[in-house]
Each structure stands twice: as C-alpha cells, then as structure tokens.
C-alpha cells in the first residue's frame, strides 16, 4: 500500500496493492491494522454507495456536530474528488485538495474529520463507495457552495448537475452552520 500526501495535512491518497491477472484484478480495500500503520486510525461505522450520472456534482457536504472521516473510492467510472478544510483556526482553512479517482486506476482518498467533501462525475456514470467514521445525521449535515470563489476549487466541469440543496448552499464565509475547530 502506498500513501501519497496532498496539499492538506491529513488528507491522503491511498494506493492499495492491486493484483492483476488475465481475469481482472483483486485488491484489499480496507484492513484496519494496515491503515492504522499509515496513520489512518478512523473507526468506520457506516458504508455508503452513490451512483451518479456524468457531470453530477455532490457536495460540498459536512456534518457538525457528528463529523465524519471518509475513505472514498470509485468502484466504476471516474470522479474528481475534493476535500476542503473548514476547521476554524486551521492554517489551511478554506484551502482545498482534489484528486481523480477511477475504477481504471484503483486508489482511495482519505479525508479526516473537519473537512467538507464533494465530487463530480467525469465518466458517463460512476459508482462511488465510501466509509464514514460516524453515522449520517440529517440534523447536523450541511453544505457549502461548490463554486465559492473564496475557496476557488478548479472543478473540471463548468455546468454541473446539482441537487436543489447543493445549488442553494451558502458560501463558507456566510454559512450559519457551526464549523469544527482546528486541534493542532
């Protein structure tokens, strides 16, 4: 397993060992002991799967309280996955990191608690799986604008397909939702 750091401390690209043969490939997508050795010590309690069409953008979402660390991978298709640091007092507050995840090049993105998360589908469809370190809580979930100019995410699409909730999400600086606090 290979770990690649991103521009945001704690947000990691994970490249599991992939064993290929004429039938296809096999890979281990989660082994708690191996990930803990790579400083990914989250205890995951919920698995989610999302199926989306081309140009569908989901995000930027977060929960507070009940923050969620996430381990994301594209099971089929390709996405551009993004993490935004929304921890008050963080030296990287409002900064983002993005990575392409695809079934053709299997890897994962680990996003710790305190970050907003979103992705856009680049292929015709995408099947995305992600582990969460806390349960979904609709009372603590909120969204921030995918196109917040203060964040400046360089999305690879210009006119994404959005849910009504995501289309109406406020900018990070205007959100009424309580933001998590940075702990050094």
The torsion of the CA quartet 102, 38, 183, 57, rounded to 10 degrees, works out to: 10
For residues 73 and 51, what is the distance between their CA atoms, to the nearest angstrom?
12
Q: Which of 61, 66, 110, 117 is catalytic?
A: 61
Report the sign of the C-alpha dihedral through residues 169, 184, 45, 106, in that order: positive
> Cα 97 from chain centroid?
10
Report the sign of the C-alpha dihedral through residues 111, 115, 116, 120, in that order: negative
Active site annotation includes 181: no
Q: Which of 35, 105, 130, 135 is catalytic?
A: 130
Active site annotation includes 61: yes
Peptide bond into 52 cis (omega under 30): no
Q: What are the DSSP E strand ranges found in the chain?
A: 2-5, 12-15, 18-21, 24-27, 46-53, 57-63, 70-76, 78-85, 96-102, 108-111, 115-121, 125-132, 141-143
* Phi and psi angles of residue 83, each rounded to the nearest 5 degrees, phi first: -120, 140
Instruction: Show which residues are catalytic.
Output: 61, 130
């Amino acid at each position: 397993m290979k770990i690649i750091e991103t521009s945001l401390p704690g947000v990691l690209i994970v490249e599991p060992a992939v064993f290929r043969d004429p039938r296809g490939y096999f890979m281990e997508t989660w082994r708690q002991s191996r990930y803990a050795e790579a400083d990914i010590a989250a205890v995951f309690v919920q698995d989610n799967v999302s199926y989306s069409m081309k140009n569908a953008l989901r995000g930027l979402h977060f929960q507070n309280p009940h923050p969620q660390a996430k381990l994301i991978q594209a099971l089929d298709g390709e996405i551009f996955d993004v993490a935004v640091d929304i921890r008050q007092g963080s030296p990287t507050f409002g900064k983002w990191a993005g990575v392409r995840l695809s079934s053709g090049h299997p890897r994962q993105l680990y996003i710790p608690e305190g970050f907003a998360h979103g992705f856009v589908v680049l292929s015709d469809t995408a099947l995305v799986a992600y582990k969460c370190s806390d349960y979904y809580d609709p009372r603590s979930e909120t969204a921030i604008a995918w196109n917040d100019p203060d964040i400046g995410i360089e999305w690879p699409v210009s006119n994404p397909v959005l849910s009504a909730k995501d289309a109406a999400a406020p900018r990070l600086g205007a959100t009424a939702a309580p933001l998590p606090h940075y702990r050094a």
